[in-house]
Amino acid sequence: MRQATKPLIVLAILFFLSGCAGFLVFASSDPGVKLSDAGYLFDKYGRPLIAERLIREAIDIYQEQNDEVGLAEAYRVYGFFFRSRSIEKWNEVYRKHGFLDKTASFDSRYQKSIEYFDKSRSLFHKYAKYDALTNVNLNMGRTYMLMNDRDKACTAYEESLENNRQNITLNPEAKVALPAGYATYEDYISAGKKRAGCEGAA
């Protein structure tokens, strides 16, 4: 009888561990690895709790190293985090306990996403990282759309397009990975502006 219960106990332990936020996350002191792991956790696996901790650990490391480009990337990932659908699935937890960033709340998560994207944008601009700026402004536009702020979304889309042009000027061989059906980044942004109802969108 005791032998028969052992498999059940093992399964119960595995089930419990699989529900833990950090299950199968290997510790790393590399902030870039922390950010990569965090992205997978909140975007692919619906595990935002451990993801936020990893993001904040990466931020601390980049600050200690005085690595502003790395810090900009960490802020960008934090912007994605606050916009992620995984947070919605954990809404009861966040409404009750909040985030590690105590200035954030579930209801203000999109605004917090914008704040971190904006921090990221400022640092990327300082170092003329126009490829990253192209992405940050694009995603600020998407977040503004979730907030039903069309004007700011349209401005962000236009800034993203300008960033892409700046990047091409500095790096003529640079290419942006585009979804199927779009020949150029201009086409892609035009479609986004049209969906947003931006003035003058074709």
DSSP string, the chain: -HHHHHHHHHHHHHHHHHHSTTTTPPP-S-HHHHHHHHHHHHHTS--HHHHHHHHHHHHHHHHHHT-HHHHHHHHHHHHHHHH-HHHHHTHHHHHHH--SSTT--STTHHHHHHHHHHHHHHHHHHTT-HHHHHHHHHHHHHHHHHTT-HHHHHHHHHHHHHHHHHHHHH-TT------TT-SSHHHHHHHHHHHHT-TT--
Question: How many angstroms from the chain centroid is the CA of residue 8?
Answer: 39
The answer on pLDDT for 144 being more than 70 is yes
Rounded Cα distance between 177 and 164, Å, is 12
Rounded Cα distance between 7 and 31, Å, is 38
Confidence of residue 26 (pLDDT cuts 50, 70, 90): low
pLDDT tens for each residue of 146-180? 999 999 999 999 999 999 999 999 999 988 889 99
The answer on pLDDT for 54 being more than 80 is yes
The answer on pLDDT for 56 being more than 90 is yes
Query: When comparing pLDDT for 202 and 129, which is higher?
Result: 129
Q: Residue 25 has what pLDDT?
A: 63
User: Is the distance from CB of 82 to CB of 109 less than 8 angstroms?
Assistant: yes
Q: Residue 122 has what pLDDT?
A: 98
Token readout for 54 is 């990893």
Q: Residue 3 has what pLDDT?
A: 46
User: Is the distance from CB of 181 to CB of 155 less than 8 angstroms?
Assistant: no
pLDDT tens for each residue of 87-99? 999 999 999 999 9
Token readout for 51 is 């993801």
Q: In the chain, pLDDT over 90 holds for what percent of residues? A: 81
